[in-house]
Structure formats: C-alpha cells, structure tokens
Chains A and B, each alone.
Chain A
Amino acid sequence: MTHHPVLRVIAKFMIPLILLFALYVQFHGDFGPGGGFQAGVIFGAGIILYGLIFGLDTAARVIPSWLLQLGVALGVLLYGGVGIASLALGGKYLEYGVLAHDPVHGQHLGIFLVELGVFVTVASVMVTIFVSFAGRER
C-alpha cells in the first residue's frame, strides 16, 4: 500500500493510540469494562493494521513469527501455571487466595496473571491467523 499516503499517515497516527488503548483496557479491567480478551483483540488489531498498511515483511520485523508462536502457547501456559502454583502453595487449582499472604492480594495477583495470560494468547492467535491468511500466495 505504498501509494496511499493518507492511509499511511493516519495509520501511523492511530496505531500507537490503539496499542495504548489495548494496554489501558488490559490494566484497567478491574475497574472498567474489558479485560484480557478484549485487550488482546485490540492489540492484535493494532498489529494487523500495521501489517495491512506497511506490509507483512515490515510487520514480521516488529513481531517475528517465532515470537508469535511462543506467545500462542505462553499465555495458556501462564494461565495453567497460576493454577499449578496455587496447587503447590496448598490451595485448590486456580484458587488465587493462597498466592499471597492476604487472600484479597492473592486474588488481585491471580486475576492479574491469568488476564495477562489471556491477553498474550489472544493477541498472538489473532495476529497468527491474520499472517497465515494474508501470507498465502494466490
């Protein structure tokens, strides 16, 4: 899309805002609407927009494919790992209360970590699906 200066300029202006908004949705999910899934989708959409406007090869330089594949698995691993950690600390699977000295703090930590896991997996999968589709030759 090298012939669309308006698109390129607007995209350059919008993409940082989209990524920042995704992080806001992620870390403000305790108070406002949204959470890991929504934030992951918005973050993925930001990267996809970048790939659409500036080409897949440029996007692959920002987020290489090994990082994408790592992210797909890492998020679920983090989520399940929180469950294992709470088992190891004497609680039930995904019982966040035992993760810290104070149960309420443990809940905070647990929810933060699993939402991060959801975010990483969702964002990586969205970009992966896009790259797989868009990267195919006709």
Chain B
Amino acid sequence: METLIDLALLGLLAVTALAMLKLRNLFAVVMLSGMYSLLSAGFFVDLDAVDVAFTEAAVGAGITTVLMLGTLTLTTSLEKVSTQKSIAPFILVLATGLILVYGTLDMPGFGHPEAPIHHHVAPRYLKDTPTETGIPNVVTAVLASYRGYDTLGETTVIFTAGVGVLTLLGLARRKEDRRP
C-alpha cells in the first residue's frame, strides 16, 4: 500500500513538473509549483519525515507561492517564447540527472539498519535524549540542543536573507510618505 502511495505521489510530481515545462502562462506555473511542493510534502509524510513535510508545506506551498505571485505582479504573467532552440541544455540536464541516479546506486536502502547514518551519533541521541534533556521529541532536542550551533547558523542565514531583501528593496513606504 505504501509503495502504491509513493508511486502515485511520484507520478503526480512528474506530471506536475512536465506541465510546468509546457505551460507559458506563468500564473499557472506558479500555482503548479505550489502544488508540486504540497505533493512533496505528502511524499515526506509517507517517508515519516513529518518535520520536513511541515516545512515544505508551509514554505514551499505557502510562502514561496505568494512571493512568486508578488513577483508576477511586478513583471508580466506570460513567458516570452524563446527563439533559439538548443539541444545542449537538454543534454547537460540529462547527463547531470543520470550521474545523480548513478550516485544513488551506492547508497544503502531506505531505512536499512546497517546504513552508516544509524551507527554514528544517532543511537546516542536516541538513547540519551530523554535523560539529558527531558524532551520526548528527539528531533527538537537534536536541532536545538545537540546541534545548537547549526541551528544558530540557519537562523543567521534567515536573518541575512531578511537583511538582504531589506537592503535591496526596502520596506514598502506608506502612501502618505510617498506623496509629501
């Protein structure tokens, strides 16, 4: 049953991606990319990565879609037809994809108990989290405590993104300010 759901979700992902390639109406493309994110979120739930699914649904399907729509209001909503058709980008993408697929062949099976990731620090986190932090959700304990430096770094990345946008675009000034 799970394999069936996986296949259905991955198939829908592929269909959505192909539709995005074909469409010229950027409004529809943005909506489809939101759908793509929501489908990936569903896929992550099926992989038991609920935290990632949460983030994907909120950021990918929610905020990114709104931001892209905001960008569309500043530009046009119709993609320009490109005049030159070149086979080189297609070959490049195909080759990169094949190399990536080839790379996965060496990876251990999904959830395989002998996988290296289950033998490094993960067992210690799973064993000691309840006694050391008293927090039932190991993901939260790892993110905020054991890997606190990384999360601080990630928060700084978000901070930097905000400062970057503020520097480049600036907060919208109220109408009264614009017309003195």
B166 within 8 A of A: yes
B174 within 8 A of A: yes
Q: Which residues of A sit under 8 angstroms from B165, Cβ to Cβ?
A: 128-129, 132-133
Contact of A94 with B175 at beta-carbon distance under 8 Å, contacts A35-B51, A132-B169, A136-B169 already known? no
A-B contact pairs, 27 of them (CB 8 A): A30-B136, A31-B137, A33-B51, A34-B51, A34-B54, A37-B154, A41-B59, A45-B63, A60-B172, A73-B159, A75-B159, A79-B151, A83-B148, A93-B149, A107-B132, A107-B133, A107-B141, A110-B145, A111-B145, A118-B155, A122-B155, A124-B162, A125-B159, A125-B162, A129-B161, A131-B172, A133-B70
Q: Which residues of A sit under 8 angstroms from B152, Cβ to Cβ?
A: 76, 79-80, 83, 94, 114
A134:B70 contact, CB within 8 angstroms = yes
Q: Which single residue of chain A is at the shortest CB-CB distance from B167?
A: A132
B47 within 8 A of A: no
Q: Which residues of A sit under 8 angstroms from B141, Cβ to Cβ?
A: 107, 111
A8 within 8 A of B: no
Q: Which single residue of chain B is at the shortest CB-CB distance from A25?
A: B54
- Interface residues in A, total, Cβ within 8 A: 59
What would 5 more interface pairs be, CB under 8 Å, given A68-B171, A135-B173?
A: A37-B55, A41-B55, A65-B172, A107-B132, A111-B133
A32:B67 contact, CB within 8 angstroms = no
Q: Which single residue of chain B is at the shortest CB-CB distance from A46?
A: B62
The CA-CA distance from A72 to B145 in the complex, in Å, is 22
Q: Which single residue of chain B is at the shortest CB-CB distance from A32?
A: B137
CB distance from B68 to the nearest CB of A (A): 9
Q: Indicate the size class of the contact surface on chain B.
A: 35 or more
Q: Is chain A's binding surface mostly helix, strand, loop or mixed?
A: helix
> Which residue of the partner chain, among A35, A41, A69, A132, contacts B172 with CB atoms under 8 Å?
A132
CB distance from B141 to the nearest CB of A (A): 7
The CA-CA distance from A126 to B55 in the complex, in Å, is 13
A132:B166 contact, CB within 8 angstroms = yes
Q: Which single residue of chain A is at the shortest CB-CB distance from B130?
A: A104
Q: Which residues of B sit under 8 angstroms from A128, Cβ to Cβ?
A: 162, 165-166, 171
B50:A33 contact, CB within 8 angstroms = yes
Contact of A118 with B172 at beta-carbon distance under 8 Å, contacts A33-B50, A130-B67 already known? no
Q: Which single residue of chain A is at the shortest CB-CB distance from B161?
A: A125
Contact of A107 with B139 at beta-carbon distance under 8 Å, contacts A38-B55, A45-B62, A135-B172 already known? no
